Chains A and B, each alone.
Chain A
């Protein structure tokens, strides 16, 4: 199950780069999570549908063309409908093309499974990626900026008046890495099968 036991980020440790870069706030993290889920699900579906016609010698290129096309589509749609978020995500939408989760699922799963299974696999992996991204975005925005989805939670609760201060380290990329480490730690201590011998 890609949600927990085979989670692309915490178990397969793929897609770390974007995970560090876009999770300083909740909104871009959610948009990124949705974008990756859409791309990996559709790419899996398309590749699975045409898998029997793809000549093996150019299969990576074919996968790349399909993924790039989908990513550019997502990018264009974001620019048209969510302009401010697309500016925040900047190059990271384009970099979904090189996100190892996408190519990894295509090569390992979609090339050898039926369209329906592949679609589910894509959605599952996308959600596995999403759950980590959204939790990071939630934690980092709440403790780093004192807000959620741009809404100033801490200010409204009167925490600043009580002497509370935001943790500046939370908005820096290294903190995302540390948080991912903590999540992996918690997951492995609860699920002993994941621990390496």
Chain B
């Protein structure tokens, strides 16, 4: 069965919205929208990059976490077309959120994305038969298609010979041989994009008779839908019958009485032809083998010697895990070694910009807002970029070379114990450096529930921002003694890392049995051939990840940063501050600079203690008293939402120490010597431990919240994370402090 004659390709609207760039000055208007589609690992993105260069943008499909990649492609004639890079799919009968999007776009059910005028279907020529499965499904829905036989260089090297003219004849659409990675054949493809391509008129053997009858019956019951072309009713009927995911667009497109009918028809088919749900698959593979028999002149070398050689080492029982660990170690060493200087440079630069602004603006609330609110917020956002860039540089090389799938293969068993898959391992390990890039790296997890679980537990990994806090508290409260096989400070630090991992495992276990419970997912994953990564693709990934973080998370970070600035700086003044101000002026007049600095530090302390943050800290005291914390720690808990290490500088300000700089010795002394209202010691070692435990578990990082918002495309998950982590932190610190007191510590 194929496209009825009454539905020409031109039925899709001729005038399309210009979603990417509406400025006519940049060239002729965009006439057509072309989608790139294909299996994962078929080289779709490489082709997309080769056709669009750097003219791309990334957004999200509304309501889901699937990324929408759009670009502009210049044609030989000077015209331009809009390219849409659809997510890699195995089938139009969706098995993942990505594949739901592909089906909905092609069937015209995706509201923000009209069906493409032309589809470039990318096929990996070295895996022709599996790739042709989706190709046939796409041809069957009767849209214009160009088939791009990609990786022809690899295919020819293996002696695979394909008669493309015969393939054109068999499929009824233009076929072009390309190698997207090498850039060969791209010119031919560009020329083809200018042509008006007709949908295939080949009648593919399609549905077994019993299925065809049922689909036809269903089809006539469907109303004419504004979004669906005439032909689309057949595809919708098929989707209604065969797709039983958790969706959505298909069910909405059909009236309720038809949905009832679908249930009845399914039950009848279950009785008549028990295997009916997969009959079309066997038919399609049968068709494919007939097509291949007429088009593949030589199947070439069936074994990939290269991959076998590499895999023997990389997935070896002993060397495999060893190489993986060494590789991961090298990656994180590089993240620290390469990103740290850049982060320091950004930090230095932003401080300079702050000084500059201070010099240019008169003192006052506006200057304070610009310097301590806006410039500080922009600085926070930017300091994450080096880590994101370096990590994604490595991760995309590992992904594009094919190694990432092997890493997941090696780690799957271990992660399976907590209900996740091997794909979760690298994002979690990355989170020891920083949860931000770690959470962004969860995109390679295709199972939605696994991905959300991984995002929810990633911030439990002790990130580098917690280290200054641990260092301060261990230095202040843990005696430097040898016990057993290590020093007490070292063991304490180790315990904090361990506590984070234990919490992550426990939370993953609970989430997978409660809010993220779901049917048994299929953990089948393709192990692609090894390939040389293309530098262009790698650099585009690095750029996209960094820019998306700055755009989407940066705005939230900036807003929260301004709010935190406000809380810590208002209300200003008061009699105490005025008195100090005149004493500072007096000290300066007398030329006693050290005294003036001392008084300035005291004034900063007074201002902070009297600010809204100080008041909230005091108001918070009853809630955190059972954990051993007083209002001064309460202030630190609020300000450290900007970033955990801010805790250190806040405590310094609270104790009138000004900025602690590199030397935190005096701050340690102050913490040890701090007294409460009744003159007793305010912070015992037990309080120090309780506070560290709180820092391990609490979600005290606006940037994490912002990136979870961006990655889950909703506020629900970041808020859930905030509540869940802070509740867990409170309960655990409570248990540590109260338990410790019962046992006679502190």
Indicate, yes or no, whether A interacts with B: no
